[in-house]
Amino acid sequence: MSRPFTPKVVTANDLLIGDVIYQTVDDGWTRDLAKAEILTDEADAQLRLLHAERQHTRLVGAYLADVNEGPDGPLPAHFREAFRASGPSNHNHGKQERTSHV
Amino acid sequence: MYEYTEFDHAFLTQRNTQFRAQVARRLDGSLSEEEFRPLRLMNGLYLQLHAYMLRVAVPYGTLSSKQIRKLAEISERWDKGYGHFTTRQNMQFNWPALRDVPDIMDALASAGMHAVQTSGNTIRNVTADPFAGAAADEVADPRHLAELIRQWSTDHPEFQFLGRKFKIAVTGSPHDRAVIRTNDIGLRVVERDGARGVQVFVGGGLGRTPLVAQEIRDFLPLDDLLPYLESILTVYNRLGRRDNKWKARIKILVQEHGIARIRELVEEEFPQRRATYAPDIVARQLELVAARFAQPVLKSAPTDPFTQAYDSDPVFRSWSDTNLAAHRDPDHAIVTISLKAHGATPGDVSADQMRLLADLAERYAHSELRVSPEQNVILPHVHKSDLPALHAALKLAGLGTANIGLASDIVACPGMDYCSLATARSIPVAQQIAERVDALKLEHDIGALKIRISGCINACGHHHVGHIGILGLDRAGVENYQITLGGDGSENTTIGARTGRGFAHDEIVPAIERLVHAYLDLRSDAEETFLQTLHRLGADPFKAALYPQTAIAAE
């Protein structure tokens, strides 16, 4: 029996900057995981991934990442995705740098 | 320092122009990522977890003051004001944007630097003993060979598409500070009957299958060096496995066929390769390369200021005892500057620190610096009378930590904080162990202890050759750390043995502390090192300290 499909987001790295981006409902890209489109249907997720992979002048290495549904949007399900969504733990760099300036 | 020839400058200019055009074609969509990826990797550009990463070559770990100033400038202009020294003596920038990389390459070239072949399935940047040209125990300066190999391997058309990456390391001393036997080829300059030659090892490597390189030739005349290296690479290129990435390194070939068979094949190939080189041409080329290494003119002065400071200042004395090594000239010392202040990221250096290092090297060390495979910076030629002033300047900048070779001088890869291959973090583990060791105020009592941490099985943190090795893994979505004991990266290269089950992120520091206390309890006297105690007693008493529950259950 195949495992039940768990919620996902489409994520990649920005081609120019290299930082982590997530696909949004309106076909755009956000740097904030909480604003990403949550995909709960497997077929839909595959189509959304294909759509991302076609944008090769915008991004690199699109894939589906597991998330948990939180009250304010998707939350990382694995510690690797948690680091991608925030930044390294030894310097206040990456996404956490921007949010800490707000 | 090696001074670039016109040919070297012209090559870099051409290469950078080519790469600039490749980046432009990627940005306008003419190149797909699949097409661009091998091109950027040939130029040291990776895409990591949060950003691109540029790995700048520091050939055989040698930098000039001018070069490290250029690295500082690059880090401030195009990165986040710091760089990271790796276990292969290179510098990595963690945050460059793709569109800026061609400009960074040009800036590097202006100081005789590049990122060529710091990645990809080619012959990588050659590493060498960081004490080269200065060590008291040296037979010959290994950098002359390393530079010759760099020139020969750069853009070598036959070896640009190997089955896997290929690493070469060179030492000129009996005491191995370049971990040569964990490389695909390890070379040691030796002397026999008054003639100079090379002892050649092949098939070493860490990673998923850690193996110590075996001797393939006990004495190779210097003039045969390049054709012999070509013979090894030809055998590897012909027989090496391309079907499975995990079995593609030459170490697997040596393991599968045996060193005797590989030696036979290499010797069979050798006469044809040798015939393509004119007699004496390699030896003559080596002399030309050696002539381009400007030798520092060592100063002559009384060493009294050193003796006075050593006798009167306990902080200076402690630093001298741990951070200095014997120079070939008894009035000079080799200074290792620790980039491991307790709680700092191993190998990280800020732009301000880089500029200070450049100034100090200029003032006290013939404008020459080295990067060590243990992620520290070395001033290879400092007159002893200058040591008190040098130490004072370092201390003021937070670079005076007296911990070389001690428990807090930890080697760690970037791990999950940066690396897209990592399975767990390694930097915070290193930081926490160093802080704990400092809080216990025990590290000078503990003495020589090499702790090495890798954040995945690829072993960039060289955990296999740590006296205590730590390997971070992902176990069912949680970070888990395995411990190995008894590894040794010296001339007695040994792969450490796993102790048993791993530890969670919040358990690993207490586990290391238990090991250290066990050693202090078990050693015969203060002179017996951690490694000697382990060799004398075996791993069992250390395992009992690591796993007290299991030990109680067995009683």
Characterize B79-106 residue by residue with b for buried, 16 or more Cβ atoms within 10 angstroms of its Cβ, and e for exposed. Answer: bbebbbbbbbbbbbbbbbbbebbbebbe
Check if B209 contacts A (Cβ < 8 Å).
no
> What sign does the dihedral B525-B527-B530-B536 (CA atoms) show?
negative
User: Which residues of chain B are within 8 Å of residue A80 when distances are taken between CB atoms?
Assistant: 49, 416, 474
When CB atoms are compared, the residue of B29, B427, B478 closest to A89 is B427
Tokens of B280: 């004496």
Give A46-88 pLDDT, tens digit per residue: 999 999 999 999 999 999 999 999 999 999 999 999 999 999 9
Shortest CA distance to B475 belongs to which of B443, B508, B450? Answer: B508
Question: Tokens 């393509």 sit at which residue?
Answer: B276
Characterize B392-429 residue by residue with b for buried, 16 or more Cβ atoms within 10 angstroms of its Cβ, and e for exposed. Answer: ebbeeeebbbbbbebbbbbbbbbbbbbbebbbbbbbbb
Residue B303: strand, helix, or coil: coil
Per-residue pLDDT 10s for chain B (555 aa) are 778 888 889 999 999 999 999 999 999 999 999 999 999 999 999 999 999 999 999 999 999 999 999 999 999 999 999 999 999 999 999 999 999 999 999 999 999 999 999 999 999 999 999 999 999 999 999 999 999 999 999 999 999 989 999 999 999 999 999 999 999 999 999 999 999 999 999 999 999 999 999 999 999 999 999 999 999 999 999 999 999 999 999 999 999 999 999 999 999 999 999 999 999 999 999 999 999 998 899 999 999 999 999 999 999 999 999 999 999 999 999 999 999 999 999 999 999 999 999 999 999 999 999 999 999 999 999 999 999 999 999 999 999 999 999 999 999 999 999 999 999 999 999 999 999 999 999 999 999 999 999 999 999 999 999 999 999 999 999 999 999 999 999 999 999 999 999 999 999 999 999 999 999 999 999 999 999 999 999 999 999 999 998 755 555
Residue of A nearest to B417 (CA): A88
pLDDT at site B1: 73
Angle between helices B225-239 and B250-257 (to 10 degrees): 80
Angle between helices B259-275 and B250-257 (to 10 degrees): 120
Largest CA distance in chain B: 73
Say yes or no for a CB contact (<8 Å) between B27 and A16: yes
Question: Tokens 């370092």 sit at which residue?
Answer: B394
pLDDT band for position A100 (cuts 50, 70, 90): low
For residues B424 and B419, give the distance between their C-alpha atoms in angstroms, rounded to a whole number: 10
User: Which residues of chain B are within 8 Å of residue A18 when distances are taken between CB atoms?
Assistant: 47-48, 50-52, 96-98
Amino acid sitting at position B389: A
Tell me, yes or no, whether B34 and B173 share the same domain: no
Amino acid sitting at position B71: L
Which CATH number is B214's domain given? 3.30.413.10
Check if A54 contacts B (Cβ < 8 Å).
no
pLDDT at site B554: 56
User: Which residues of chain B are within 8 Å of residue A16 when distances are taken between CB atoms?
Assistant: 27, 97-99
For residues B218 and B200, give the distance between their C-alpha atoms in angstroms, rounded to a whole number: 6
Tell me, yes or no, whether B434 and B365 share the same domain: no
Q: Count of residues for chain B? A: 555
When CB atoms are compared, the residue of A19, A90, A95 closest to B428 is A90
When CB atoms are compared, the residue of A56, A79, A84 closest to B50 is A84
Which CATH number is B377's domain given? 3.90.480.20
The CA distance from B167 to the nearest CA of chain A, in Å, is 28
Q: Residue B401: inside a domain, yes or no?
A: no
Q: Which of B291, B320, B341 is the last residue of a domain?
A: B291
> What sign does the dihedral A77-A80-A85-A88 (CA atoms) show?
positive
The CA distance from A80 to the nearest CA of chain B, in Å, is 7
What strands lie across the sheet with A20-23, from one edge to the other?
A: A29-30, A20-23, A8-14, A59-70, A73-76
User: Which residues of chain A are within 8 Å of residue B428 when distances are taken between CB atoms?
Assistant: 89-90
> 463-492 in B: which are within 8 Å (CB) of A?
474, 477-479
pLDDT at site B552: 57
Mean pLDDT, chain A, integer:
94
Tell me, yes or no, whether B250 and B228 share the same domain: yes
Q: What percent of chain A has pLDDT over 70?
A: 95
**Whether the Cβ atoms of residue B484 and residue B463 lie closer than 8 Å to each other:** yes
Residue of B nearest to A59 (CA): B33
Q: List the domain boundaries for chain A.
A: 8-101
Residue B211: strand, helix, or coil: strand
The CA distance from B456 to the nearest CA of chain A, in Å, is 13
Report which DSSP code applies to B125.
P
- The yes-or-no verdict on residue A101 having pLDDT over 50 is no
Q: Which domain holds residue B202?
A: 142-291
Residue A35: strand, helix, or coil: helix
Tell me, yes or no, whether B550 and B442 share the same domain: yes
Other CB atoms within a 10 A radius of the CB of residue B222 amount to 19
When CB atoms are compared, the residue of A15, A77, A79 closest to B98 is A15
Check if B51 contacts A (Cβ < 8 Å).
yes
Question: Tokens 């696909």 sit at which residue?
Answer: A23
When CB atoms are compared, the residue of B47, B345, B431 closest to A60 is B47
Shortest CA distance to A89 belongs to which of B478, B518, B416? Answer: B416
Q: Which of B264, B291, B318 is the last residue of a domain?
A: B291
pLDDT at site B551: 58
Query: What's the number of domains chain B is made of?
Result: 4
Angle between helices B143-153 and B281-291 (to 10 degrees): 110
Tell me, yes or no, whether B19 and B159 share the same domain: no
Tell me, yes or no, whether B421 and B391 share the same domain: no
pLDDT at site B550: 73
Q: Residue B132: inside a domain, yes or no?
A: no
Q: Residue B425: inside a domain, yes or no?
A: yes
pLDDT at site B553: 59
Interface pTM (ipTM) of the complex?
Answer: 0.95
When CB atoms are compared, the residue of B32, B47, B417 closest to A83 is B417
Tell me, yes or no, whether B537 and B468 share the same domain: yes
In B331-450, alpha helices (H):
351-364, 387-396, 427-440, 443-446
